[in-house]
Amino acid sequence: MSRPLVLLTTPQLDFAAPALLERYDVVRWWEAPPNELLQRVKALVCMGHHPLHMLDRLTDLAMVACFTAGYDAIDLAALRERNIVVCNAGEAAAEPVAEFALALILASTRNVAWGNALVHAGHWGDGPIRLGRGLPELKLGIVGMGAIGRALAAKADVLGMSVHWWGPRAKPEISTPRMATLLELAAQCDVLALCARSDETNRHMVSRAALDALGPTGLLVNVARGQLVDEDALRNALCEGRLGAAALDVFEVEPTPADRWAGIPNLLATPHIAGATKGNAVGMTAVMRDNLDRFFDGLAPSNRIV
Amino acid sequence: MSRPLVLLTTPQLDFAAPALLERYDVVRWWEAPPNELLQRVKALVCMGHHPLHMLDRLTDLAMVACFTAGYDAIDLAALRERNIVVCNAGEAAAEPVAEFALALILASTRNVAWGNALVHAGHWGDGPIRLGRGLPELKLGIVGMGAIGRALAAKADVLGMSVHWWGPRAKPEISTPRMATLLELAAQCDVLALCARSDETNRHMVSRAALDALGPTGLLVNVARGQLVDEDALRNALCEGRLGAAALDVFEVEPTPADRWAGIPNLLATPHIAGATKGNAVGMTAVMRDNLDRFFDGLAPSNRIV
């Protein structure tokens, strides 16, 4: 029996090829494979924030294994229409992503990035040091209480932060108090952490009004998706001191152009690495393999979204 | 009755002047006060890592209120000989300092500083992203199980790290396992965090041998004192890739010269800010005032070390 042919859509996923090759044949999109090969592709493995420009050429595609938890760039309706099964990473990456949100909060509130730049530039001693704020001095507001939000709430709670959240749906099973609106959450917290799924309903939900509610001592943290934030409003708020600081791992366009942020103060920016740990790469690869295997074994995949 | 005269030794402590002026008269060393004023000084408030060059001129000094927990630059023997009482901050700063150690660990292991530099330099997309390591993938070794070490152990444990420690004295009341030697601790952990008091017995305890035991994937974190580390050996180990990374808040000479670290890879350096939070400034000021007040009220100060 022949091995199913699986397409890897981006070189960022090439590290997963050895795990696939145990059972599947692999073709790489970035190597410009010929049409006759693409027409035999049964499944593809992709990142959920990259659009799938090759779908029309994959005439025999039966399954999409989205490596990530987020799948905002994938046209689910088009896939549903073609009866293509779609799976994602489920909650596999929630712990490392929540840990990264904590890393961004601490790097910002405890002035780690500021201090590192000061020492390396030889300016230590030129003026007074900045006083940070310890976690027990800070109120955290979490937007989106899915697996990432819940993992962040647990970590923040044991480290002494008081935690509230908001999301469009009440979740009575969650003991963390929920605020009535995003604006109310932003107004009463010091750190607003975005952990929500991104879709057509919440684009630019963090608007100028939300940033002003967070205010001149507030910190915005985003480990979810850039589309959740009105980035132009954010740039203006930081420049004008209406927002205290921002720590962003995700952007409206990725890679975000460096000149978009040149001269913007109090911004910590990382290149979409919240899930990028060795342990998580292994764990997410195992979930992706399991999704594929169950599909090709005729079983119900565990993390099916279409 | 006249108010006791208190000397502030450094402008870094001037923020505490209002709290002192409620009960004391204050003279500032950096304003070059005349001898007739210095001869009336009854107590001084200092940072424990700054030597007290003015002691000979303070002929009526009865009490030293060290603002910090560390007091490595203070000549305790000389003060004891003059029957001068010395108090420190006790455990007041342990929580924020341990939190800062956690901030340095996360900023380094999750590549926050690396990523921030990459994005701002416009190099996102030029090559593969670095995979970090999540805390549950890492073994933490704590050197010194005082108040800071214990606070760090508690935080690391709830975030999923496995924790061991070493210090020269066994502490049977502590459940965290103790290794037999510093070298053994360094050899079996991924992150070595220095939380020890610095004195004449442990200068350069983190030697080339300890750094080699920690190894090419190891991370050294120092929130204690620069004297604990052989800094030249550390610079060589980082340059030669024998040590993975270092995150230092303290240095043998402070401010450390920037050119001492130019071109040294994988180094995160902050300007001795582990205790620098707004909440901690308030808390440590209260402890310092309490130490002074109890002394001048004829009571035993709570944090007396001489």
**Domain membership of residue A70 as a residue range:** 5-92+278-296
Beta bridge partners of A80: none
> How far is the C-alpha of B57 from the C-alpha of B87, rounded, in Å?
20
Q: Do B270 and A12 touch (CB under 8 A)?
A: no
The answer to whether residues B156 and B135 touch, using CB atoms and an 8 Å cutoff, is yes
Whether residue A14 contacts residue A28, with contact meaning beta carbons closer than 8 Å, is answered with: yes
Our CA-based measurement puts residue A300 at a distance from the nearest CA of chain B, in whole angstroms, of 31
List, as ranges, residues 124-163 from A with C-beta within 8 Å of B: 124-125, 128-137, 155, 158-160
CATH number of the domain within which B173 lies: 3.40.50.720
Q: Which residues of A touch B136 (CB under 8 A)?
A: 95, 279
Q: Are residues A111 and A228 in the same domain?
A: yes
Is residue A208 domain-shared with residue A285, that is, in the same domain?
no
Q: What distance, in Å, lies between the first and last C-alpha atoms of chain B?
A: 27
| Catalytic status, residue B164 | no
Residue A134 belongs to some domain of the structure? yes
Q: What is the 3-state secondary structure (H, E, C) of B71-84?
A: CCCCCHHHHHHCCC
Does any domain span residue A33?
Answer: yes
For residue A193, being part of any structural domain is answered with yes
pLDDT (tens, 9 = 90+) of chain A, 306 residues, equals: 589 999 999 998 999 999 999 999 999 999 999 999 999 999 999 999 999 999 999 999 999 999 999 899 999 999 999 999 999 999 989 999 999 999 999 999 999 999 999 999 999 999 888 999 999 999 999 999 999 999 999 999 999 999 999 999 999 999 999 999 999 999 999 999 999 999 889 999 999 999 999 999 999 999 999 999 999 999 999 999 999 999 999 999 999 999 999 999 999 999 999 999 999 999 999 999 999 999 999 999 889 999
A9 falls within a domain = yes
Question: What are the distances in angstroms from CA B34 to CA B28, B37, B39, B64, B265?
Answer: 11, 6, 9, 20, 48
Question: A69 and A38 in one domain?
Answer: yes
What pLDDT digit, counting tens, does each position of B252-268 carry? 999 999 999 999 999 99
Q: Is B304 part of any domain?
A: no
**List A95, A225, A231, A289, catalytic entry:** A225
Buried/exposed code over A123-150 (b: 16+ C-beta within 10 A; e: otherwise): ebeeeebeebbbbebbbbbbbbbbbbbb
Rounded to the nearest 10°, the torsion over CA B202, B203, B208, B209 is -20
Q: Annotated catalytic, B82? A: no
In a shared domain, residues A78 and A138: no
Rounded to a whole number, what is the distance in Å from the CA of A298 to chain B's nearest CA? 34
Is B53 among the residues known to form the active site?
Answer: no
pLDDT at B1: 58
Q: How many domains does chain A contain in total?
A: 2
Give pLDDT, residue B138: 98
Does B99 share its domain with B224? Answer: yes
The Cα–Cα gap between A123 and A117 comes to 9
B108 and B234 share one domain: yes
In this prediction, residue B40 carries a pLDDT of: 97
Asked if the structure places residue A136 within a domain, the reply is yes
Tell whether A302 is covered by a domain: no
Give domain status of residue B229, yes or no: yes
Supply the DSSP symbol for A172: T
Q: CB of B238 within 8 A of CB of B267?
A: yes
- Whether residues A98 and A149 share a domain: the answer is yes
Q: Same domain, yes or no, for A71 and A135?
A: no
Instruction: Please tell me whether residues A176 and A240 are part of one structural domain.
Output: yes
At a CB cut-off of 8 Å and minimum separation 6, what does B50 contact? B9, B10, B73
Report d(CA B223, CA A48) in Å as an integer: 40
In eight-state DSSP terms, residue A3 is P
What are residue B244's phi and psi, to 5 degrees?
-70, -50
What DSSP assignment string belongs to B251-268? -SSSSPPGGGSTT-TTEE
- Looking at the DSSP bridge assignments, the partners of residue A46 are A66
What pLDDT is stored for residue A185 in this prediction?
Answer: 98
Residues A116 and A87 in one domain: no
Does residue B40 sit in the same domain as residue B87? Answer: yes
In degrees and rounded to multiples of 5, residue A41 shows phi and psi of -65, 125
Q: Are B279 and A109 in contact (CB under 8 A)?
A: no
This model of the complex carries an ipTM of 0.93
Whether residues A85 and A137 share a domain: the answer is no
